[in-house]
Amino acid sequence: MSIKKWMLPEGVEEALPPTSWELEDLRRKLLDGFRKRGYELILPPLIEHLDALLTGTAQDLDARTFKFTDPASGRLLGLRSDMTPQAARIAARRFRDQAVVRLCYLGTVLRAQPDSLGGPRSPRQVGCEIFGEAGIEADLEVIDLMLRTLRLAGLKKAHLDLGHVGIYRAVSEKLALDPDDESALFDILQRKSQPDLAEFATARALKPRVVKVFAELMALNGDVTVLQRARETLKPAGAAVQEALDTLDKVVRKLRAEAPKLPIHIDLAELRGYRYHTGIVFAAFAPGHGREIARGGRYDGVGAEFGVARPATGFSADLNELLRLAQ
Q: Does 260 sit behind a cis peptide bond, omega within 30 degrees of 0 on the bond before it?
A: no
Question: Cα–chain-centroid distance for residue 55?
Answer: 16
Q: What would the pLDDT profile of 97-148 be if each residue is shown by its tens digit?
A: 999 999 999 999 999 998 876 789 999 999 999 999 999 999 999 999 999 9
Q: What would the pLDDT profile of 176-234 be if each residue is shown by its tens digit?
A: 788 888 888 888 988 889 999 999 989 988 888 888 888 988 899 999 999 999 999 88
Looking at the domain that runs over 7-158+302-327, which CATH code has it been given?
3.30.930.10
Q: What would the pLDDT profile of 79-91 be if each residue is shown by its tens digit?
A: 999 999 999 999 9
Count Cα neighbours of 4 within 13 Å in the Cβ-side half-sphere.
Answer: 1
Q: How far apart are CA 246 and CA 144, in angstroms?
A: 20
Domains 7-158+302-327 and 159-285 fall in the same CATH topology = yes
CA-based angle 62:65:67, to the nearest 5?
Answer: 105
Q: How far apart are CA 226 and CA 105, in angstroms?
A: 35
Q: How far apart are CA 15 and CA 123, in angstroms?
A: 11
pLDDT band, residue 172 (cuts 50/70/90): confident
Mean pLDDT estimate for the chain: 92
Write the CB contacts of 9 (distance below 8 Å, at least 6 apart in sequence).
121
Structure pTM? 0.93
Work out the average pLDDT over 243-261. 96
Write down the domain spans for the chain.
Answer: 7-158+302-327, 159-285
Q: Which residues pair with 162 in a beta bridge?
A: 266, 282
Q: Which amino acid is at 293?
A: I
Q: What DSSP string describes 174-232?
A: TTT--HHHHHHHHHHHHHT-HHHHHHHHHHTT--HHHHHHHHHHHH-EESTTHHHHHHH
Where does residue 71 rank: exposed (0-12), middle (13-18), buried (19+ CB within 10 A)? exposed
Looking at the domain that runs over 159-285, which CATH code has it been given?
3.30.930.10
pLDDT band, residue 265 (cuts 50/70/90): very high
Q: What would the pLDDT profile of 5-39 be if each residue is shown by its tens digit?
A: 889 999 999 999 999 999 999 999 999 999 999 99
